[in-house]
């Protein structure tokens, strides 16, 4: 098995790299198409970028007509640039994240191959691009993938600088520039993580004095030239920015005391357990990392340093989020170092020990068991679809009601899906089970024959199928987790002077903003995302009390309202002409001329 891997990878390093990039870019670009902008965070960040592209104000982010100063600007800048290239559409929202995933896979290929062979780099890039968490946390517009990119670039640059005894300027300055990019993507942890990883690595290597040669003066100047201008301009143009952005959004968020508290921190055991789920299926090989740790002293210095820096990287992330507040996607920065270490575990150099080889074979065997379970699910599902479920005749789906409150968990919508959507999800579900079954069982069979490269390709193809079928399921759920259909209808009908109102929390319908760039008023709900922005004296007041809503609805002003249909009778509106219905929600207007 060892000889096969070494001969194969020595002749085909370029082919491995091209195969990795084609698979990663192909899957993520394909799944970037035909996907609605979803309510809540996805719509919020997309709409902010939309405003930037339209107004040319690249300093102060605005959402729904008010300032939104919670996050750094990198996500908005990249998305707004994508809008300028592709137009304002859904693909343009997803394109930057797809590029970031492919770029991270490329960086991990080069860092991973230092641990043993090009095959190790191929596994490292594959384990990042084709783990469940990377795809699930990039299906919506979030800044984390760009933070992970700049963090990966910073660590890779630092490693390149450290490995050259001449202390070259370029990789050192790239380290500082990438750190600045991380700060502009995620805030102060963009500085804390690269600095802590580099310092811990130098201490472990018993070479802290090398830090003096990291071109500190030039690098610090470059860091501030890149990172400081936006912060300075944002502070000058927006009074109170520095306290809100640095203290409330970063220090108090770290302590779990940020206001408003519109999220719930998950417990530490759950956070750690979920990391195994997000790294699926490559978490099956994590037990082999102990052999990488034990065998690192017997490796060449380049391999040993690459492994050390990845263990330092993973440790910094784990320790930080073990003491801070946590939500599901905060684990993303640990994906790259664990992906590199998995690549080291599977590469030829780390399979010299019998124990390591046995652990890796157990990993593939575990995947084959999961593949067999998926096959059983397919068979059982086929039987149920063929013969039906006893006793289900005449049963009606459970009644559902449209929500009026924002979710506090990333995957909360999964537990409130209407029965009609759940029934339609069986096709992508069985498709994903088929991909996992064939891919994982095939990978196990190939690994038994010593064909590790083909086995990894089989796992990649299985996860590519998982990604595509997950993308298909999002299209099925679109009407429930997005307000796209209402936004498009509102965009057709809305005229200057009209008003649009959401009944319930702003976050339950804010994708309307993307498809119909009009201000949304909020009635009988909150707008936690806009709280700080609405505190500025020049901000429009978007929260309506009963009196102001009644005055708006009963005036001569044409007013639209998006509401759960079962709540309309309690409002006792004099005139409410339905314009569009979808999944227990209805768009109504106070003028019959609006209605079909």
pLDDT the model gives residue 296: 67
Is there a single domain that holds both residue 455 and residue 525?
Answer: no
Which pair of structure tokens corresponds to residue 344? 């080291």
Helix (H) or strand (E) holding 579: strand 577-582
Instruction: Name which of 475, 477, 378 is nearest 431 in CA terms.
Output: 378
What's the Cα-to-Cα distance from 526 to each of 27, 401, 506, rounded to whole Å?
38, 19, 6
Q: What is the pLDDT along the chain (596 residues), one digit of tens a residue?
A: 443 444 544 557 888 999 999 999 999 999 999 889 999 889 999 999 999 999 999 999 999 999 999 999 999 999 999 999 999 999 999 999 999 999 999 999 999 999 888 999 999 999 999 999 999 999 999 999 999 999 999 999 999 999 998 999 999 999 999 999 999 999 999 999 999 999 999 999 999 999 999 999 999 999 999 999 999 999 999 999 999 999 988 888 877 787 776 667 788 898 899 999 999 999 999 998 888 887 766 678 888 999 999 999 999 999 999 888 888 889 999 999 999 999 999 885 544 455 567 788 889 999 999 989 888 887 776 666 566 544 444 434 444 555 666 555 556 666 677 788 888 888 899 999 999 999 999 999 999 988 899 999 999 999 999 999 999 999 998 888 899 999 999 999 999 989 999 999 999 999 999 999 899 999 998 888 898 899 999 999 899 999 999 999 988 789 999 999 888 888 888 788 899 998 889 999 988 877 76
Domain coverage including residue 521? 484-594
* DSSP notation for 199-212: HHHHHHTT-GGGGG
Is there a single domain that holds both residue 308 and residue 384?
Answer: no
pTM of the model: 0.93
pLDDT the model gives residue 456: 95
Instruction: Name which of 329, 334, 338 is nearest 319 in CA terms.
Output: 334
Is residue 36 assigned to a domain? Answer: no
User: What is the sign, positive or negative, of the torsion defined by CA atoms of 238, 244, 245, 247?
Assistant: positive
CB contact at 8 A, 138 and 32: no
Which pair of structure tokens corresponds to residue 459? 């796992």
Among residues 454, 482, 510, the one where a domain terminates is 482
Among residues 322, 352, 382, the one where a domain terminates is 352
Is there a single domain that holds both residue 467 and residue 574?
Answer: no
DSSP designation for 498? -
Is residue 555 assigned to a domain? Answer: yes
Is residue 39 assigned to a domain? Answer: no
Radius of gyration of the chain (CA): 26
Helix (H) or strand (E) holding 218: helix 216-237
Query: Rounded to an integer, what distance in angstroms lies between the CA atom of residue 79 and that of residue 92?
Result: 7
Instruction: Name which of 79, 83, 98, 89 is nearest 28 in CA terms.
Output: 98
Is residue 61 assigned to a domain? Answer: no
- Number of domains forming the structure of the chain: 3
Is there a single domain that holds both residue 86 and residue 192?
Answer: yes
Instruction: Name which of 308, 335, 345 is nearest 152 in CA terms.
Output: 335
CB contact at 8 A, 151 and 144: no
DSSP designation for 101? H
Is there a single domain that holds both residue 324 and residue 453?
Answer: no
How many Cα neighbours within 13 Å face the side chain of 163?
A: 20
Is there a single domain that holds both residue 192 and residue 205?
Answer: yes
Is there a single domain that holds both residue 295 and residue 173?
Answer: yes
User: How, if at all, do strands 520-523 and 499-503 pair?
Assistant: parallel
CB contact at 8 A, 100 and 66: no
Is there a single domain that holds both residue 456 and residue 519?
Answer: no
pLDDT the model gives residue 404: 62
What's the Cα-to-Cα distance from 94 to each of 30, 31, 117, 139, 160, rounded to whole Å?
10, 9, 33, 8, 31
Instruction: Name which of 1, 95, 113, 2 is nearest 49 in CA terms.
Output: 95
Among residues 439, 464, 482, the one where a domain terminates is 482
How many Cα neighbours within 13 Å face the side chain of 95?
A: 18
DSSP designation for 405? S
Is there a single domain that holds both residue 523 and residue 468?
Answer: no
Is there a single domain that holds both residue 312 and residue 196?
Answer: yes
Beta pairing partners, 62: 67
- Using the structure block, give the residue that is written with the tokens 């013969």: 387
Is residue 57 assigned to a domain? Answer: no
What's the Cα-to-Cα distance from 125 to each of 96, 280, 335, 350, 391, rounded to whole Å?
18, 14, 10, 18, 49
Is there a single domain that holds both residue 120 and residue 165?
Answer: yes
Instruction: Name which of 156, 327, 165 is nearest 253 in CA terms.
Output: 327
- Using the structure block, give the residue that is written with the tokens 């809008």: 83
CB contact at 8 A, 355 and 291: yes
Query: Rounded to an integer, what distance in angstroms lies between the CA atom of residue 39 and that of residue 249?
Result: 22
Helix, strand, or coil (residue 115): coil
Is residue 397 assigned to a domain? Answer: no
For 106, residues 6+ apart whose C-beta sits below 8 A from its C-beta are 17, 20, 21, 125
Is residue 257 assigned to a domain? Answer: no
CB contact at 8 A, 314 and 339: no
CA 99 to chain centre: 13
| Count helices and strands in the chain by DSSP H and E runs | 25, 8
CB contact at 8 A, 429 and 455: no
What's the Cα-to-Cα distance from 73 to each of 68, 182, 582, rounded to whole Å?
10, 11, 34
Is residue 295 assigned to a domain? Answer: yes
Is there a single domain that holds both residue 342 and residue 197?
Answer: yes
Region for residue 53 given its phi and psi (left: phi exceeds 0; alpha: psi -120 to 50; beta: otherwise): alpha
């Amino acid at each position: 098995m060892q000889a096969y891997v070494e001969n194969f990878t020595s002749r085909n390093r370029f082919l491995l790299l091209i195969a990795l990039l084609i698979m990663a870019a192909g899957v993520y670009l394909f799944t970037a198409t035909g996907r609605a902008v979803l309510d809540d965070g996805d719509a919020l960040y997309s709409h902010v970028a939309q405003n930037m592209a339209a107004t040319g104000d690249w300093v102060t982010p605005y959402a729904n007509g008010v300032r939104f100063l919670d996050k750094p600007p990198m996500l908005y800048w990249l998305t707004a640039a994508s809008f300028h290239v592709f137009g304002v559409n859904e693909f343009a929202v997803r394109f930057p994240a797809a590029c970031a995933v492919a770029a991270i896979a490329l960086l991990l290929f080069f860092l991973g191959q230092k641990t043993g062979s090009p095959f190790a780099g191929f596994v490292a890039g594959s384990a990042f691009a084709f783990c469940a968490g990377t795809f699930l946390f990039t299906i919506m517009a979030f800044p984390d993938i760009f933070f992970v990119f700049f963090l990966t670039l910073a660590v890779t640059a630092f490693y390149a600088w450290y490995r050259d005894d001449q202390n070259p300027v370029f990789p050192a300055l790239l380290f500082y520039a990438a750190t600045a990019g991380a700060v502009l993507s995620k805030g102060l942890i963009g500085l804390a993580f690269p600095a802590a990883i580099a310092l811990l690595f130098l201490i472990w290597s018993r070479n802290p004095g090398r830090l003096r040669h990291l071109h500190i003066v030039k690098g610090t100047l470059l860091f501030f030239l890149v990172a400081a201008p936006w912060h300075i301009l944002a502070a000058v143009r927006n009074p109170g920015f520095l306290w809100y952005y640095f203290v409330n959004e970063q220090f108090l968020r770290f302590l779990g005391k940020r206001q408003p508290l519109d999220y719930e921190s998950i417990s530490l055991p759950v956070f750690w357990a979920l990391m195994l789920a997000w790294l699926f299926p490559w978490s099956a090989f994590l037990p082999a990392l102990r052999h990488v740790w034990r065998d690192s002293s017997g490796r060449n210095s380049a391999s040993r340093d690459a492994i050390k820096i990845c263990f330092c990287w993973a440790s910094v992330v784990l320790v930080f989020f073990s003491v801070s507040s946590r939500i599901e996607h905060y684990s993303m920065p640990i994906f790259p170092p664990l992906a590199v270490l998995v690549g080291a575990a599977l590469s030829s150099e780390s399979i010299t020990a019998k124990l390591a080889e046995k652990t890796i074979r157990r990993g593939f065997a575990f995947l084959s068991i999961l593949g067999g379970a998926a096959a059983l699910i397919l068979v059982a599902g086929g039987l149920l679809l063929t013969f039906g479920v006893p006793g289900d005749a005449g049963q009606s789906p459970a009644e559902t009601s449209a929500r009026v409150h924002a979710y506090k968990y990333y995957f909360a919508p999964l537990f409130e899906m209407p029965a009609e959507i759940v029934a339609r999800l069986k096709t992508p579900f069985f498709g994903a089970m088929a991909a996992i079954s064939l891919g994982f069982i095939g990978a196990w069979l190939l690994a038994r024959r010593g064909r590790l490269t083909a086995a990894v390709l089989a796992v990649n193809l299985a996860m590519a199928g998982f990604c595509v079928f997950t993308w298909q399921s999002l299209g099925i759920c679109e009407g429930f987790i997005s307000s796209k259909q209402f936004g498009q209808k509102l965009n057709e009908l809305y005229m200057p002077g009209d008003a649009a109102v959401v009944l319930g929390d702003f976050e339950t319908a804010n994708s309307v903003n993307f498809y119909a760039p009009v201000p949304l008023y909020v009635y009988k709900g909150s707008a936690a995302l806009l709280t700080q922005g609405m505190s500025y004296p020049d901000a429009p007041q978007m929260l309506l009390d009963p009196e102001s809503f009644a005055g708006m609805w009963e005036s001569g002003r044409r007013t639209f309202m998006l509401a759960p249909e079962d709540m309309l009778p309690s409002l006792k509106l004099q005139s409410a002409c339905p314009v569009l219905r979808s999944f227990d929600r209805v768009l109504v207007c106070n003028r019959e001329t609006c209605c079909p």
